[in-house]
Homo-oligomer: A and B are copies of this chain.
Amino acid sequence: MSSATPLKRRRGRPPKDQAGFSQTKAELIRSGMEVLTEKGYSATGIDEILRRVGVPKGSFYHYFKNKDAFGSELISNYAKFFEHKLDRSLGNRSLPPLKRLSAFMQDAIDGMARHQFKRGCLVGNLGQEMGALPESFRRQLIEVFETWQQRLEACLEEAKAAGDISSDTDCKQSAYLFWTGWEGAVLRAKLERTPNALQSYADFFINSLK
């Protein structure tokens, strides 16, 4: 909970110490991420995002052209964050490939648990909402999936090379399937507010590789 900061904001041009970095913008992005992963895009008003961090509307429209542009930045931000996470986990050479995947999933489960399974995946949320979203989001979201898929594909190739999974596994296809099903599991975990779907899917997928 990072609610209502009653902090009085200084108006006017800020001191020139922090080059290019804006505290306020960062707060808006974090706040937006929290709300959107929980409620999605359409159901979330800008006011709510602002209220949480005590930022007035003017600031929002200073940093972002409009809600759509904000959403787009959130996706980029989320993608970058996740990419690093995947590089660290799935690319962690100190663990055998499949263990890395299991560790990633367990990590995600713990993460969702920390928020009582109320927050889902931004990409999944927006994907489902596509019908009501600006068309430009589509390519962006598809590309995020592709990036994730590549990371996993590489990891699975390592597993194959190590003989941990069948040599005739189509790693690309498996990686594609993984993320497809994973999003389903996240959705259901959110609905049921339990780790069950995630846990089951984790076991299932790992098993399907053998």
Write the residues of chain A forming the contact surface with B, with a CB cutoff of 8 angstroms. 38-44, 118-120, 124-125, 127-132, 138, 141-142, 145, 173, 176-177, 180-185, 187-188, 190-192, 197, 200-201, 204, 208
Chain B residue nearest to A138 in the complex (CB): B191
Q: Is the CB of B185 within 8 A of A130?
A: no
Q: Is the CB of B180 within 8 A of A184?
A: yes
Complex-state Cα separation, A48 to B72, whole angstroms: 26
Complex-state Cα separation, A119 to B145, whole angstroms: 20
Q: How many copies does the complex hold?
A: 2
Q: Is the CB of A129 within 8 A of B39?
A: yes
Which residue in B43, B127, B190, B192 is a CB contact (below 8 Å) of A191?
B127
Q: A40-B42, A124-B187 are in contact. Are A142 and B201 (CB under 8 A)?
A: no
Q: In terms of DSSP, what is the predominant structure of the interface of chain A?
A: helix
Which residue in B183, B185, B191, B204 is a CB contact (below 8 Å) of A142?
B191
Q: Is the CB of A40 within 8 A of B200?
A: no
Q: Provide the residues of chain B in CB contact with A128, threshold 8 Å.
A: 40, 120, 124-125, 128-129, 187, 190
Q: Provide the residues of chain B in CB contact with A129, threshold 8 Å.
A: 39-40, 43, 128
Complex-state Cα separation, A63 to B41, whole angstroms: 29
Q: A40-B42, A177-B200, A204-B177 are in contact. Are A118 and B141 (CB under 8 A)?
A: no
